[in-house]
Amino acid sequence: MNAPETPVTSAQIRKRGLKLLAIGGGLFAANVLLLLWLSSHAHSIHFPIVATSLPLAFALIGTIELITGAPFQRLANSWMQLRGWQRGILGTLIVVASLAIIMCLVTFFVLMFT
C-alpha cells in the first residue's frame, strides 16, 4: 500500500528554487570564469559553448520557482494552455518590460560610475 502523497508547499518550492539558483548560478559563474581564464591565456576553445550555459537554465528555473512559489512544470503547463494570440501578446509584453528594466539598470549604473 502506498502512502498518500503530501502536497508540496510553497515554502518547499521556494527552497528548491533557491537551491537551483545557487547551484546553477555558481556553476555558470565558474564556467564563465574558466572561459575568461582560458581566453586570457591564449587557449582555443574546442567544445560547444552552448553546453556551458546549461547551469544558467537551471539558475533561471530556480529563479522562477523562487519568485512565484509554484513548480516550473505547472507554470509551463499553464503557459501552454493559453491560446496562441494570448501567448504572443504576453510574451511580447514580457520581452518589452524586460528590455525596459535592463535599459534602466544599465543607464543607472553608467550614470553612477561616470
Sign of CA dihedral 46, 48, 49, 54: negative
pLDDT (0 to 100) of residue 8: 85
Query: Structural domain of residue 106, as residue ranges?
Result: 82-114
**Residue 6 backbone phi and psi in degrees, to 5:** -90, 140
Tally of structural domains, the chain = 2
d(CA 13, CA 10): 5
Q: For residue 1, is it within any domain? A: no
Are residues 67 and 95 located together in one domain of the fold? no
Task: Give how far Cα 104 sits from Cα of 11, 71, 79, 112, 113, Å.
Answer: 31, 30, 28, 12, 14
d(CA 15, CA 21): 10
- Grid coordinates representing 55? 547551469
**In the block, which residue shows the cell 582555443?**
44
Are residues 21 and 76 located together in one domain of the fold? yes
Residue pLDDT, tens place only, 35-87: 888 888 887 777 667 778 899 999 999 999 999 999 999 999 999 999 999 99
Q: For residue 3, give the DSSP letter.
A: P
Are residues 91 and 71 located together in one domain of the fold? no
Question: 3-state secondary structure string, 83-99?
Answer: CHHHHHHHHHHHHHHHH
Q: Is the pTM of this model over 0.85?
A: no
pLDDT (0 to 100) of residue 14: 96
**In the block, which residue shows the cell 534602466?**
104
